[in-house]
Amino acid sequence: MGRVRVVAPATSANLGAGFDVFGLALDRPADVLVVEEIEAGVEMVVEGFPVPETPEANVAGYVAKRLAENAGAGVRLELRKGVPPGSGLGSSAASAVASAAGVAVLLGLEVGMRELLGVCAEAEGVASGAPHADNAAACLYGGFVCVGEGMRVLRVEPPEWLEWGVVLPEVRVETREARRALPERVPLDVHVHSLGSVVMMVAGMMRGDRELVRLGMRDRFATPVRSRWIPRFEEVVRAVVEAGALGVTVSGSGPACIALCSGDVCSGEEVAEAMGEVYSEAGVECRCFWGKPGGGVEVEGRRLSNILKG
Ligand code: HSE
């Protein structure tokens, strides 16, 4: 009976107006999962952050149960959480994808990427009250992704120059609550604005056009609602612009804020530090992260997209 080691990175969903559609894989932090085959059932242990350890209550356990039980096999999961839960950095998606990738490769399941994305999106639904595939798609495929109907994923290799900085203030935001707070209906002008931003972002990523990416980060749907829970958000925006970044938005459902920048103007580290300073000056605890877009989940050092099809 074998075992595999999986590394599943943090991701940032929405990137402005691409609510439940856009995802960006980050190169850090990451969850590390060791999956081992056992006689029967699903067992798990978790370290790193306090999250539920019973397989039924944990997204990684949920996904493993779905896949392993279907195959008539058993697995043991050893999960080291590196992506902070409740941060807006795709913590539950990282765990779900790590589990899906590890179990699929270990047991040699005949599944494709889209099928695994479906299981992970369902697990996200159990965790947050509504299935969504943006974080999971970015984690599975890497790079910048757009999720369409039927779990179709458009993957775009982000521009070489793209760097990101994240600040994570010490406030708790539950995805479930952050989703409930959104308006059920969208006024026509907001819809038109969102369409414009989304097109700019996709074109900007594909062409490597900094100005289009900057315009693409603008959002009038979720960001105005969710930024209210983020302390000093206006000051964070000012600090990012002064640092020379393209823009900043709420990462997923928050409270992390992600800024995108062009490494030849300012580095992700500089932007993250500029945002961190806003909080240090205000006496609010925060953590900063920075890096480049990432390649997505890896099993035994190989990208899943190079192992599985479709
Ligand atoms: N698209 C999701 C949301 C990401 O914004 O609610 C959070 O997991």
Q: What is the pLDDT of residues 28-75, one digit of tens each?
A: 999 999 999 999 999 999 999 988 888 888 999 999 999 999 999 999
Q: Which residues 6+ apart lie within 8 Å of 202 measured at CB?
A: 146, 154, 156, 216
Q: Give 93's pLDDT tier (boundaries 50, 70, 90).
A: very high
Q: CB of 273 within 8 A of CB of 286? A: no
pLDDT tens per residue across span 249-298: 999 999 999 999 999 999 999 999 999 999 999 999 999 999 999 999 99
Rounded to an integer, the average pLDDT of 230-240 is 97
Rounded to an integer, the average pLDDT of 102-128 is 94
Please state, in angstroms and as integers, the Cα–Cα distance from residue 117 to each residue in 72, 93, 300, following that order. Answer: 21, 10, 20
User: Given this model, what pLDDT does residue 282 score?
Assistant: 96
Structure tokens at 85: 């839960």
Q: What whole-number distance in Å separates Cα of residue 272 and Cα of residue 284? A: 15
The helix (H) or strand (E) run that includes residue 124 is helix 113-128
The values of phi and psi at residue 258, to 5°, are -115, 130
Using CA positions, which residue lies closest to atom 4 of ligand 1?
252
Element counts in the chain: helices (H) and strands (E): 11, 12
User: Given this model, what pLDDT does residue 222 score?
Assistant: 97
Which atom in ligand 1 lies closest to the alpha carbon of residue 128? 8
User: Given this model, what pLDDT does residue 291 score?
Assistant: 98
Residue 175 falls in the annotated catalytic set: yes
- 107 CA → ligand 1 middle, Å: 30
Q: CB of 185 within 8 A of CB of 305? A: no
Characterize the bridge pairing of strands 302-303 and 74-80.
unpaired
Options 43, 149, 157, 175, the catalytic residue: 175
Q: What whole-number distance in Å separates Cα of residue 243 and Cα of residue 274? A: 7
pLDDT tens per residue across span 62-77: 999 999 999 999 999 9
Q: Which of 135, 145, 174 to mutate for ligand 1's pocket (most ligand atoms within 8 Å of CB)?
A: 135
- 179 CA → ligand 1 middle, Å: 7
Please state, in angstroms and as integers, the Cα–Cα distance from residue 153 to each residue in 114, 134, 142, 309, following that order. Answer: 8, 9, 11, 13
Residue 39 falls in the annotated catalytic set: no
Percent of the chain at pLDDT > 90 equals 91
Q: Which domains does the chain have, with CATH numbers?
A: 3-156+294-306 (3.30.230.10), 162-291 (3.30.70.890)
Name residues contacting ligand 1 (CB within 6 A).
Answer: 13-14, 19-20, 132, 134-135, 175, 178-179, 252-253
- 74 CA → ligand 1 middle, Å: 31
The pTM for the full model equals 0.96
